[in-house]
Amino acid sequence: MLINDIQDQLVEEFELMDDWMEKYEHIIHMGNELPPMDETLKTDNRLIRGCQSRVWLDAKEQNGILHFEADSDALITKGLISMVVRVLNNQPAKDIAAADLYFVDKIGLRSHLSSNRANGLASMIQQIKALAVHFNSAN
């Protein structure tokens, strides 16, 4: 599936919910579904700065395709990571580098999340994009 198709699917899921508690329930559910990250990967150099909770991100490249593993000690944050991973995991680095991640605004995450969390989410996306640019230019 293309990045935008997954984004559209995600936006659609949230459109069915009108209450933010329901949306958070869904975000937490997605967090719980995120495949567990290898504990040995939870190192300081994989920590993403700018989050109130701790967030680890690991990226691997194989034939131009990026694979992510991530985790957080906060469940809602983990749900947000899970959304980003769902959209970008196993996608070509060049597509990730060029992607417009409109799902964040369409779901209302940027306007609803506390500034801490919104900044954390933005840092996470920024980091993934920087990695994609790096891997893309390396190839």
Partner 1 sequence: MSAISTSTPSVSVESIRADFPILNETINGHHLVYFDNAATSQKPMQVMEAMNRYYFHSNSNVHRGAHTLSVRATDCYEGARDTVARLLNAASSREIVFTGGTTDSINLVAYSFSNGLLKAGDEILVSTLEHHSNIIPWQLAAQRCGATVKAIPMDAQGNLLINSYRELLSSNTRLVAVTHVSNTLGTINPVRDIIAIAHEKGIPVLIDAAQSVPHFQIDVQDLDADFVAFSGHKMLGPTGIGVLYAKESWLNQMPPFRGGGGMIQTGSVTIGNTLYNKAPYKFEAGTPNVAGAVGLAAAIDYMNEVGYDFIQQQEEQLLHYALEQLQQLPEVQLAARPEHMASVFSFNVKNAHYSDVATLLDSQGVAVRSGMHCTEPLLSHLQVNGTARVSFAFYNTLEEVDVFIKALQKAIRMLS
Which one among 43, 52, 90, 137 touches partner 1, defined by CB under 8 A? 52
Is 87 one of the annotated active-site residues of the chain? Answer: no
* Site stretch for partner 1 (CB under 8 A), options 2-10, 72-80, 99-107, 122-130: 72-80
Instruction: Please list, in sequence order, all residues whose beta carbon lies within 8 angstroms of the beta carbon of residue 71, skipping any fewer than 6 positions away.
Output: 34, 36, 37, 42, 55, 56, 78, 81
- Does the footprint of partner 1 cover residue 127 (CB under 8 A)? no
Element of type H or E holding 77: helix 75-88
Q: Which stretch binds partner 1 (CB under 8 A): 1-9, 14-22, 82-90, 126-134?
A: 14-22
Contact call for residue 25 and partner 1 (CB under 8 A) = yes
Sign of CA dihedral 122, 123, 125, 126: positive
d(CA 16, CA 20): 11
Residues 95-114 that bind partner 1 (CB under 8 A): 113-114
Cβ(76)–Cβ(31) under 8 Å?
yes
Among 20, 33, 38, 137, binds partner 1 (CB under 8 A): 20
Contact 120, 53 (CB under 8 A): yes
Catalytic positions, please? 51
Q: Which residues contact partner 1 by CB under 8 A?
A: 19-21, 24-25, 28, 52-53, 73-77, 113-114, 116-117
